[in-house]
Structure 1
Amino acid sequence: MGGVPRVVLDLLRNLPNDKFDFTLMLNLYQGELVKDIPKNIKLIVVEKGKEQMSSNPFIQKLQLAFRRLKLEIYDKFPAFLYKVKGLENYDIEVAPGYTEFDMVLNSPNKKSRKIGWFHTDVGYDKDQQRVMSRIEKMKKFDFMIFGSKQTRQVIDDLYQVKYSKSTVIYNVIKVDEVLKKATLFNHSFNTDYPVFSSMGRLHHRKGYHALMKVHKQLLEDGFPHVIAVIGGGNEMENLISQRKELGVDNTFLLLDSQTNPYPYIKASDFFILPSQSESYPLVIGEVMAMRKPIISTNVGGISEMIDDGIDGILINYDEKDMYNAMKDFMTNPDLVDKIYDATEKAYEKFDEKEIYRQVSEVFEQQYQLKLQNEQS
């Protein structure tokens, strides 16, 4: 259900099929979005997903161990993977995120043009070895696409590394699709108090542990409200334990992943994104299109989406700032009305046709360079 897989699927559905012949390769055939893979796209699956394995715990453990071994072999010997799976001599190979960098860079197809896509803010990452590894790998690609201006600029600011063969292309925000999905069913939180919704993968850097502490403090200070978080992830157990410890089980709702999260957001009064790091999160544009007054940490490329104080509020990743912004939304209706009014034309910021044109242009340019190299 992550942002990068959604971006990939959207491009596969909307880039011109009279110009491009796409093949999608999945390391693992699993996740909610596999059912959304376009039927006309050639699909190559490296290994089965967990859902396709035995329900017997012992047998499943054996299957998982065998799968892990095969993936390690393929990782170490990519030429073997290409031979086993019958992979072709593609003109262009794309790594849509940093987790696919090695697979594309190690491709035995030496004549293909290698394109990397990077959506991550390296500014938050304290693991310098990991950061430098990603920065060095990006230098090896024939061309890099960055998900926001900030994503590329922060690498220059912190590490003095520029990428001359690169561009910035924003992720597509499917405004019409979001608005339609938001009406597919009605949801009610059954409360008279203001409801803040949020959506994101439950990871420590998404800031939900901090949001929960702010929520508790606001309740104690006499500002009743409810927070509903849509998303799953490895922080779920920690957040459930923290929620019990703080005594906010009934007001801090953990709704897990939802195939259609938009009716839940529609049913809320406000939206808050408390992340410690982001690049260009789809959910910001989606919520703005739904005209929900929004509070977001000012990280990654979010300031390229929200005009602070006009169609949303930007804050530092700081509990005091979070507290004050949420309090303002609950006590200052004029501010909320101002933001709501300004979101009326927010959808104009997200021109999907222009984004498809930009991606197509990159692919076509790289293809022409491949032909030139072959001729020379």
Structure 2
Amino acid sequence: MKKKILFVMESLGIGGAEKSLVTLLSQLDYSKYDVDLFLFYPKGEFMDLISEEVNLLDVPEDFNSFILNPKESIKQLIKRGKFRLFIYKIIWVVNLYFNKFILNKEYIGWNIIKKSVKPVEKEYDVAIGFLEKKSIYFTVDKVKAKKKVGWIHIDYAKIEHNHKVDTHYFKFLNNIITVSEHCKDVLIDEFPQYKEKIEVIQNIISPKLINNMSNKEVKDINFIDDSIIICTVCRLTVQKGIDIAIECCEQLIKKGLKFKWIVVGDGSERSKLQKMINEKGLKDIFILIGSRSNPYPYMKMCDIYVQPSRWEGFGITVAEAKVLNKPIVASNIPEFVEQIEDEKTGMIYVDKQDMVNKMDYIIRNKNTRQILSSNLKNIDMNNNYELEKLEKLL
């Protein structure tokens, strides 16, 4: 008999965890598993990549109304006569604004949000909250399952979190999965009482899928000169360090180097970053092209791949650049050090000036780029052992 598996996720917008989930779902053996997927917001650029074998659960109407933006949510709840939920939403909004603007801290308010959704009717063998916070809270509170798993995709010490709330919810999980050894160490430091539950399953990638998708033609960029092309793929947030990349770009231009630097992705910092680019006179050199559901053709066309993140959980785009055999320059954070052997499969920089120096060197030295690419070709990027860990978990 097939095992019944549920994955819980907020949405499938562009992000490392979201990409990891759709890749994971494409790799499962559906002769063994019946798989359901519950999304708080069933939308996002990766929706079309969900495997046909996956059953997407409907979002309950009350929950759907409650989790909308405050104005639209209140409007719908009143229209539908859900006055009890309307009162809860007002309480949630007041708490949100108090925490955000007075206390200057994150507010989730799951203890209020959960009043808007009934438990999932079906019972599962394994239920997986595939993202930290709400996905895990939902899995614990609203799902009946023999085994419950929480997935942490980020360096827990680098994000806002409610330690007391997570301590409570982690108690009800059979396994706590994270995506790198560094993230595991951080979680053990934060939650030593749950040490035996915490294990690593790295983000699952599919070299075959990446290579196939990378062969699509790029039609929206046409560089007619012989410039070196640098590429970065990420959300435009403080975490990803694009401001650092812009400062590096400015210094490299002052050294007389010729190149184009394209950034694939979107996010809350876009307008601020574009202003910074314009002020430094880099608008024709450092180019924010927006998000793409398929970033791989842009990665394939580049000469150098750069990831300037301040912190990561795993750093899936670096793994993908390795699949495409691209010379990589990345920041000196534990997750990249785990993936890159410095000056053999990429270059790791320790600070802003070191980034400028190493970018200068790799742009000027085609032979170095070729050596790094050649070394990457000898690495087996099929992470079947991670799938084996998942199979064991299931």
**One of 215, 218, 223 as aligned partner of 2:249:** 215
Q: Is it true that 1:176 corresponds to 2:176 in the alignment?
A: no
Alpha-carbon displacement from aligned partner over 1:80-108 (angstroms, at most 9, x marks no partner): 6235xx53122322111113122122226
Equivalent position of 1:328 in the other structure: 361
**One of 374, 377, 385 as aligned partner of 1:354:** 385
Q: Is it true that 1:165 corresponds to 2:210 in the alignment?
A: no
Alpha-carbon displacement from aligned partner over 1:43-75 (angstroms, at most 9, x marks no partner): 123279xxx99xxxxxx9854545796896986
Q: Is it true that 1:240 corresponds to 2:253 in the alignment?
A: no
Equivalent position of 2:140 in the other structure: 105
1:39 Cα offset (Å): 2.8
Return the alpha-carbon distance in structure 2 between the equivalents of residues 133 and 41 of structure 1: 31
Return the alpha-carbon distance in structure 2 between the equivalents of residues 47 and 294 of structure 1: 44
3-state SS of the aligned residue for 1:355? helix
Return the alpha-carbon distance in structure 1 between the equivalents of residues 163 and 310 of structure 2: 16
Which residue identity is paired with 2:200?
V
3-state SS of the aligned residue for 1:28? coil
Q: Is it true that 1:9 corresponds to 2:22 in the alignment?
A: yes
**One of 176, 187, 194 as aligned partner of 1:155:** 187
Equivalent position of 1:82 in the other structure: 118
* Residue pair 1:28, 1:47 contacting (<8 A) in 2 also: no
**Higher mean C-alpha displacement, 64-73 vs 300-309:** 64-73
Equivalent position of 1:278 in the other structure: 312
The answer for unaligned runs of 5 or more in structure 1 is 54-59, 364-376
Identical residues among aligned pairs (%): 22
Return the alpha-carbon distance in structure 2 between the equivalents of residues 65 and 328 of structure 1: 56
3-state SS of the aligned residue for 1:154? helix
Equivalent position of 2:104 in the other structure: none
**One of 36, 42, 58 as aligned partner of 1:23:** 36
Q: Is it true that 1:227 corresponds to 2:261 in the alignment?
A: yes
**One of 326, 332, 337 as aligned partner of 1:292:** 326
1:225 Cα offset (Å): 2.0
* Residue pair 1:79, 1:108 contacting (<8 A) in 2 also: no
* Residue pair 2:207, 2:382 contacting (<8 A) in 1 also: no
- Runs of 4 or more off by more than 6 Å in structure 1? 67-71
TM-score by length of 2: 0.79
* Residue pair 1:271, 1:293 contacting (<8 A) in 2 also: yes
3-state SS of the aligned residue for 1:9? helix
Equivalent position of 2:342 in the other structure: 308
Q: How many residues align?
A: 346
1:192 Cα offset (Å): 2.1
Return the alpha-carbon distance in structure 2 between the equivalents of residues 198 and 258 of structure 1: 12
The answer for unaligned runs of 5 or more in structure 2 is 1-13, 78-84, 93-109
Alpha-carbon displacement from aligned partner over 1:295-337 (angstroms, at most 9, x marks no partner): 0113242222211111111123x21121111111112333222
* Residue pair 1:279, 1:302 contacting (<8 A) in 2 also: no
Return the alpha-carbon distance in structure 1 between the equivalents of residues 190 and 71 of structure 2: 44
Return the alpha-carbon distance in structure 2 between the equivalents of residues 361 and 191 of structure 1: 52
Equivalent position of 1:258 in the other structure: 292
Return the alpha-carbon distance in structure 1 between the equivalents of residues 76 and 25 of structure 2: 27
Return the alpha-carbon distance in structure 2 between the equivalents of residues 291 and 44 of structure 1: 38
Alpha-carbon displacement from aligned partner over 1:107-163 (angstroms, at most 9, x marks no partner): 263x532201111113434x5x54675466434422111111111113345776662
Return the alpha-carbon distance in structure 2 between the equivalents of residues 136 and 321 of structure 1: 43
1:77 Cα offset (Å): 6.6
Return the alpha-carbon distance in structure 1 between the equivalents of residues 114 and 29 of structure 2: 30
Return the alpha-carbon distance in structure 2 between the equivalents of residues 361 and 257 of structure 1: 35
TM-score by length of 1: 0.83
Return the alpha-carbon distance in structure 1 between the equivalents of residues 186 and 193 of structure 2: 9
Return the alpha-carbon distance in structure 1 between the equivalents of residues 312 and 113 of structure 2: 33
Structural mapping, 1:17-166, within 5 Å: 17-46=30-59, 63-66=72-75, 76=112, 78=114, 81-82=117-118, 87-99=121-133, 100-107=135-142, 109=144, 112-125=146-159, 127=160, 130=162, 134=166, 137-156=169-188, 163-166=195-198
